[in-house]
A and B are shown apart, each in its own frame.
Chain A
Amino acid sequence: EVQLVESGGGLVQPGGSLRLSCAASGFTFSDHYMDWVRQAPGKGLEWVGRIRNKGNSYTTEYAASVNGRFTISRDDSKNSLFLQMNSLKIEDTAVYYCARDSGAVKFDFWGQGTLVTVSS
């Protein structure tokens, strides 16, 4: 069974940093691109970024709203995905989901999400 479990969310002050993790199981993690998607309270979905697999040199893509502040990485030996968030802003407050990307055409499995609250 495919499972994605996010962790690391919490309350952080504006300007602070936080690192989210996503533990994957039930599939060959190293084969897949992985993505982060967020959802502000009461709002729609916003794609945050993507990391490709080893065969594609672990290259990354980011939304303009987070580019230069957020960094996506992965550890295939630990079946883990990470989102390092720096210089956090109030508008980064959201539930953050990791998602398995299949064939770069669909996000076919999602984690349950972890809430990040940026507030003073």
Chain B
Amino acid sequence: IQLTQSPSFLSASVGDRVTITCRASQGISSYLAWYQQKPGKAPKLLIYAASALQSGVPSRFSGSGSGTEFTLTISSLQPEDFATYYCQQVNSYPLTFGGGTKVEIK
């Protein structure tokens, strides 16, 4: 299953509402997770099961969608949110990640 993220690059300002889309090449129900990765660091889980917020993750992060189209929304971008974001499907093997969306400061 291929995951296509858009955009691949996003320039935004602190306080902006940001939306990242992940499209699956076939239906994956709600078996989708979102991760944040900062340079030189391991990925961090944000959202699982498409919309469940991982413990300890700020509520400005939210996920939605099912089937083939999913979104990650950051309601008000904070300085610490500038990073690369990846979606991942866990519906079937091989597990796959999207190509990533880099969020940079405008």
Using CB atoms and an 8 Å cutoff, list the residues of chain A in contact with chain B: 35, 37, 44-47, 50, 61-64, 97, 104-108, 110-113
Binding site of B, secondary structure by majority: helix, strand, loop or mixed? loop
Q: Which residue of A lies closest to B5 (CB)?
A: A44
Max count, chain A CB within 10 A of own CB: residue among B31, B48, B99: B48
Q: Hey, which chain B residues are within 8 Å of A62, CB to CB?
A: 94
Among candidates A50, A97, A105, A113, residue contacting B49 with C-beta atoms closer than 8 Å: A105
Q: Does B66 contact A (CB under 8 A)?
A: no
Given contacts A61-B94, A105-B48, A108-B54, 12 further A-B contacts (CB under 8 A): A44-B97, A45-B35, A46-B97, A47-B88, A47-B94, A50-B95, A61-B93, A97-B43, A105-B49, A111-B42, A112-B42, A113-B42
Q: Hey, which chain B residues are within 8 Å of A110, CB to CB?
A: 42-44
Max count, chain B CB within 10 A of own CB: residue among A107, A112, A113: A107
CB proximity of B47 to chain A, nearest CB, Å: 9
